[in-house]
Amino acid sequence: MENTLWSYAEQLTPSSRPGNFNQVMMDLGAIVCTRSKPKCEICPLSEKCEAKAQSRQTDFPFSKPKKEKPIKFVYMLMLKNGSEVFMYQRPPSGIWGGLYSFPEFETLDMLQDYLNELGLEDADLDFDENLLFRHTFSHYHLDIQPLVLPVGFLSKVKPAVGEHKKLWFNAGEIETNKVGLSAVAKKLLQDL
């Protein structure tokens, strides 16, 4: 197909001033031969136009089919001590770069390993599927299962999450402290 189109292009493009010809064709497409309101009455090529002959001017160009976005899944752990919640600052690059968020895990095994490191191997995780929600990015969907875990004795412990800042925040005062939050963290705090 591509070879056929190149063949047509070579046949139809004049040898003198091909740049001017290409510019005219682009202008014709942008101004006259538009998809929503084609101006066939002023088009110099309307007599040779197959779309007009078939009354299908608005069918071209075809819309690109929407690409299905992949779906990723994470567990977001919300350690809670009274009115305080534990958050960490995300790395400067990547999604939500430099913003505070809750620790996240791709698998239950990773989450359990983290809890084991904190001495919470017997923690009773409450999987409330009603809290599951989707956050959409330009290139993928992120399905998030929040897990709230009350932990009274960890209030002075700074659980390790990468090399970035780790803090306990009073959930009601985070906004007034001007802490940069990911959109998902804001939503989870409002729902908390």
| CATH, range 71-191 | 3.90.79.10
Q: What is the pLDDT of residue 175?
A: 65
Q: pLDDT of 37-90, one tens digit each?
A: 888 899 888 888 888 899 888 887 777 788 899 999 999 998 888 888 888 888
Average model confidence (pLDDT) for the chain? 83
Q: Is the pLDDT of residue 164 over 80?
A: no
Give the residue-averaged pLDDT of 142-165: 70
Instruction: Identify whether the C-beta of residue 160 lies closer than 8 Å to the C-beta of residue 92.
Output: no
What share of the chain in percent tops pLDDT 70? Answer: 91
| pTM exceeds 0.85, yes or no | no
Q: At 26, is the pLDDT very low, low, confident or very high (cuts 50, 70, 90)?
A: confident
Question: Mind giving me the DSSP string for the chain?
Answer: -HHHHHHHHHHHS-SSSHHHHHHHHHHIIIIIS-SSS--GGG-TTGGG-HHHHTT-GGG-SPPPPPPPPPEEEEEEEEEEETTEEEEEEPPSSSTTTT-EE--EESSHHHHHHHHHHTT-TT------GGG-EEEE-SS-EEEEEEEEEE-GGGTT-----TTS-EEEEETTTTGGGT--B-HHHHHHHHH-
Domains of the chain by residue range: 2-59, 71-191
pLDDT of residue 28: 84
Question: Does position 125 have pLDDT exceeding 80, yes or no?
Answer: no
Is 46:54 a contact under the CB 8 Å cutoff? no
> What is the predicted pLDDT for the residue at 160?
52
Q: Determine the Cα–Cα distance for residues 29 and 38; give it in Å rounded to an integer.
A: 9
Q: What is the mean pLDDT of residues 97-120?
A: 89
The answer to whether residue 156 scores a pLDDT higher than 50 is no
For residue 29, give the amino acid letter: G
- Written out in words, the top-level CATH class of the domain with range 2-59 is mainly alpha
Q: Is 115 exposed, middle or buried (0-12, 13-18, 19+ CB in 10 A)?
A: buried
**pLDDT value at 159 more than 60:** no
